[in-house]
Amino acid sequence: MRLILHGAPGSGKGTQARLLSQRLGLAHIGTGDILREAVRLKTPAGRLAKPYITSGQLVPDDLVNEMIADRFRREDRPERFVMDGYPRTLAQAASFDQVLRQEFLLLDAVVQLLVDVEEIVGRLSGRWSCPFPNCMATYHTIHKPPRVAGVCDEDGTPLVQREDDMEETVRRRIVVYNQNTQALVEHYRAQGLLRQVSGTGDIETIYTNMIQVLGQAGTSC
């Protein structure tokens, strides 16, 4: 299966993308994770991206488009994948369409997770994650606390809070998301690929709803 998971910051797309990846054997391609890792390693792309990420703005399209095009043009390109956080603008969608066409890969669906703004602010301000690059598990102080406070269940790494999860930055990220979403959603609706799923409720219920919607091939929103 080849999927794009679209949703506001804090809609749970990272968590759902990880589940889809583990359970369906899909490559998980999360541009937020890739960019944060580039920032951590202080690569040229990371240095360029850092001020945008910390202020809640989108990194320039060219940078992410190149990053993704490189990933798909490599020998070991992913055949079955879930995109998490890309494309995020119409220009990125156009670039990704072209990459997929060149690689003869067809998308199966674009799933948009729908979540209320105030819920997102509450979710993100309580979000903590494991900084270990092979893990990146996420937790929430109220909804999904780790077994031991402040420590990752998977590998015992101390959890960290993302700089861009502060309330003011979260609100800016939501404004940016809304500015770009309408055109993006219409782009994929026109291709008959769009599926909309409520992102409210527990993780397993959202996953089940998503799988159900993905099973309904040919029924677009």
Q: Which two tokens stand for residue 128?
A: 């903590």
Angle at 30 (CA atoms; ends 153, 123), nearest 5 degrees: 55
For ligand AMP, the binding residues in 195-214 under the rule CB under 6 A are none
When the beta carbons of 181 and 220 are compared against ligand AMP, the nearer one is: 181
**In the set 46, 52, 90, 99, which binds ligand AMP (CB under 6 A)?**
52
Is-contact 39 31, C-beta < 8 A? no
88 catalytic residue (yes or no)? yes
127 catalytic residue (yes or no)? yes
Is-contact 77 102, C-beta < 8 A? no
Rounded least distance, CB 177 to ligand AMP, Å: 9
For ligand AMP, the binding residues in 1-20 under the rule CB under 6 A are 9
Euclidean distance between CA atoms 55 and 120, whole angstroms: 17
When the beta carbons of 132 and 220 are compared against ligand AMP, the nearer one is: 132
40 catalytic residue (yes or no)? no
162 catalytic residue (yes or no)? yes
Only segment of 83-91, 102-110, 133-141, 195-203 that touches ligand AMP (CB under 6 A): 83-91
**In the set 5, 19, 20, 35, which binds ligand AMP (CB under 6 A)?**
35
Only segment of 19-27, 40-48, 49-57, 144-152 that touches ligand AMP (CB under 6 A): 49-57
Binding footprint of ligand AMP, residue count (CB under 6 A): 17
50 catalytic residue (yes or no)? no
Query: Nearest to ligand AMP by Cβ — which residue?
Result: 32
**In the set 31, 95, 112, 129, which binds ligand AMP (CB under 6 A)?**
31
- Residue tagged active-site, from 36, 88, 123, 195: 88
Q: Which two tokens stand for residue 177?
A: 């998301």
27-30 and 109-114: which strand pairing? Answer: unpaired
Positions that interact with ligand AMP (CB under 6 A) = 9, 31-32, 35, 52-53, 56-59, 64, 85-86, 88, 92, 164, 173
- Report, as residue numbers or ranges, the catalytic residues: 13, 88, 127, 162, 173
